[in-house]
Chains A and B, each alone.
Chain A
């Protein structure tokens, strides 16, 4: 083999090695961490709806002695992923068996959103963005979610629909990092600085010398709307491209993170020195507590909706909220 041929083969191999290293490195540092929401397998990790099916023997939904005789047209319930246990538990305890049905007769999580509820089922799962549109368009009667975004309020307004928002429970809005990150808490001001691009390295907040990657959610999702309300307007894209390779901070609702996903490789941060425990949420010492709502159209003709709302705010309903892992409204707040 002559020298020229060796040189040619060597240069081709060198180019291949360069691209292999580049893509392999990208995969290890970044792409391999992306579990997407558009595969049913990943969606099931967001929430495994099969654990929260009403009236099923192996359901993990709590059962209480509920006494609410509903007659006639039972409201269709839907909600955000984080609130599936709540509205599924309401159906489980209040609705008669047979209220929930599936396409093909059996539950399957192979669909886009990890569910196959039949069109006439009283339980649906469209998650925040699609579910909010469904309540505005009259496909859903009662929708459970965090405070809606400005865009969602506008969506309803544009269609001339007035919505009623009834706070039915409390939940902590939490920030979390990888379990290996030495930072255990931040102040509210530090969180604002991080998301507004004023603080860009963990060493500035007592951590290691590594860029901060402040991760945001899809616009219109429940947690992103809560975040917008928390720190005001900010541009999620306002960060260095190198931040993607730094150590991330994210946000979510406490029970969704801790109770539903329960990933041990992430940890919640204390805010202003207060950890988001159930006790600190109810006594009000945790600085960021959000209400979650039952939302319905003001012009609804379904006479069961006020009955259901009153029951959710009653001691029985609030006990159910607590047994689902959330925090009940303070005693003075139910009406």
Chain B
């Protein structure tokens, strides 16, 4: 793979995965504010 093409591909993959992670975080914040706290605590990992 040519270097330019590799860097472009790398940046596109990185940007996509970062966007997905940000979306995951936004969902988590929103859902945390509206979740059932009984189930949140019941599912805690010990």
Contact = CB atoms under 8 A, between A and B. Distances in A.
Given A8-B1, A28-B45, A15 B37 contact: no
A250 B34 contact: no
A178 B20 CA distance: 31
Main DSSP-derived SS at the B contact region: helix
B21 A35 contact: no
Contacts of B9: 12
Given A19-B20, A36-B35, A31 B40 contact: no
A38 B27 CA distance: 13
A38 B30 CA distance: 11
A15 B14 contact: yes
Interface residues on A, range: 35 or more
A264 to B, nearest CB: 8
Interface residues on B, range: 20 to 34
A70 to B, nearest CB: 36
Interface in A286-311: none
A49 interface: no
Interface of B: 1, 6, 9-10, 13-14, 17-18, 20-21, 24-25, 27-28, 31-46
Contacts of B35: 33-37
Contacts of B34: 36-38, 218
Nearest to A261: B38
A250 B41 CA distance: 8
B25 to A, nearest CB: 8
Contact of B36 (A4, A37, A179, A180): A37
Interface in A1-48: 4-5, 8, 11-12, 15-16, 19, 22-23, 26-38, 42, 45-46
B13 A12 contact: yes
A5 B34 CA distance: 47
A163 interface: no
Contacts of B40: 33-35, 215, 248, 250
A50 interface: no
B14 A32 contact: no
Contacts of B43: 32-33, 265
B46 A263 contact: no
A177 interface: yes
A181 interface: yes
Contacts of A266: 38, 41-42
Given A12-B9, A217-B37, 18 more contacts: A15-B13, A19-B18, A19-B21, A23-B20, A23-B24, A27-B24, A33-B43, A35-B35, A35-B40, A36-B34, A181-B46, A248-B41, A249-B41, A250-B38, A250-B41, A252-B37, A261-B38, A263-B42
